[in-house]
Amino acid sequence: MIILIGGEKGGTGKTTLATNLAAMRAQMDRDVLLVDTDPQGSANYWVQSRDEEKIKPRVACIQKFGQGLSTEVKDLASRYQDIIIDAGGRDSIELRSALVATEKVYIPIQPSQFDIWTLDQMDELVAAAKAFNPELKAKVVISRSSTNPSVQESNETQKLLEDFINLDLANSIIRDRIAYRKAAKDGLAVIETKPKDQKATKEMEMFFQEVFNHE
């Protein structure tokens, strides 16, 4: 499956979600490729830390920039069972290109930064990509939200999304937890840390299920 974690807003947790999904998929003995399209190279850096610490399973990663991304990804899809793309940046060529190649895009947003403009742009980018990729599904996932659970948060987001015909709300919510930052630093997925953060593990497993087992 080809999955894109994307969005125009910075720091929403795109790389965190992409790297966690990649490691979890690799744990299932799948041939996974993580594609890092960000010049900052955070996903690639995470893989390097993972390799330096000799953490198994290995996660393969390539960095890919520019317009050729969608062709490259479609080509790689015959060699890997799963491709997870980390694409960000304001209206980047990579984000547009990845939207054409992917089956599903998950767009993390932080509740504190609800930004209609960002969603508006994403809705338009998804609409444009659908001309070439009619089956594309786009979901907004609440990310880095406060650990004080609030039903209000999802209701508000749901309401906000009613205005965007191409965007739906994911069922999972990822909360702001230190465990994610610690894991990222060591090249780990949150479910691999010892001791395990039970809550982070549970919510990331739910998100994983939603991404790979839904629909």
Ligand X SMILES: Nc1ncnc2c1ncn2[C@@H]1O[C@H](COP(=O)(O)OP(=O)(O)OP(=O)(O)O)[C@@H](O)[C@H]1O
Question: Contact residues for Mg ion (CB under 5 A)?
Answer: 14-15, 42
Q: Of 47, 58, 55, whose CA–CA distance to 18 is shortest?
A: 47
Partner from Mg ion, ligand X, none contacting 105, C-beta within 5 to 8 A by type:
none
Q: Of 76, 24, 11, whose CA–CA distance to 211 is shortest?
A: 24
CB 33 within 8 A of CB 82: yes
Using the minimum distance from each CB to Mg ion, give the nearer residue, 15 or 166.
Answer: 15
CB of 18 to ligand X, least distance (A): 8
Question: Cα 11 to chain center, whole Å?
Answer: 12
CB of 148 to ligand X, least distance (A): 14
Round to whole Å and give the CA distance between 76 and 102: 12
Residues 69-98 that bind ligand X (CB under 6 A): 88
Partner from ligand X, Mg ion, none contacting 180, C-beta within 5 to 8 A by type:
ligand X
Using the minimum distance from each CB to Mg ion, give the nearer residue, 108 or 111.
Answer: 108
Task: Output the residue with the shortest Cβ distance to Mg ion.
Answer: 15
Q: Which of 164, 180, 207, 208 binds ligand X (CB under 6 A)?
A: 180
Is 33 strand, coil or helix?
A: strand
On the question of a cis peptide bond just before residue 57, with omega within 30 degrees of 0, the verdict is: yes
Asked if 208 interacts with ligand X (CB under 6 A), we say: no
CB of 42 to Mg ion, least distance (A): 5
Asked if 50 interacts with ligand X (CB under 6 A), we say: no
- Residues ≥6 apart with Cβ < 8 Å to 12: 108, 109, 110, 113, 143, 144
Q: Per-residue string for binding with ligand X, 137-166, x by CB under 6 A?
A: ------xx----------------------
Residues 12-41 that bind ligand X (CB under 6 A): 12-16, 38
Secondary structure, 3-state, 198-210: HHHHHHHHHHHHH
CB of 144 to ligand X, least distance (A): 5
Maximal C-alpha separation, the chain: 47
Asked if 177 interacts with ligand X (CB under 6 A), we say: yes
Instruction: List residues bridging with 82 in a β-sheet.
Output: 32
User: Which spans of this chain sit near ligand X (rule: CB under 6 A)?
Assistant: 10-16, 38, 42, 88, 143-144, 174, 176-177, 180-181, 184
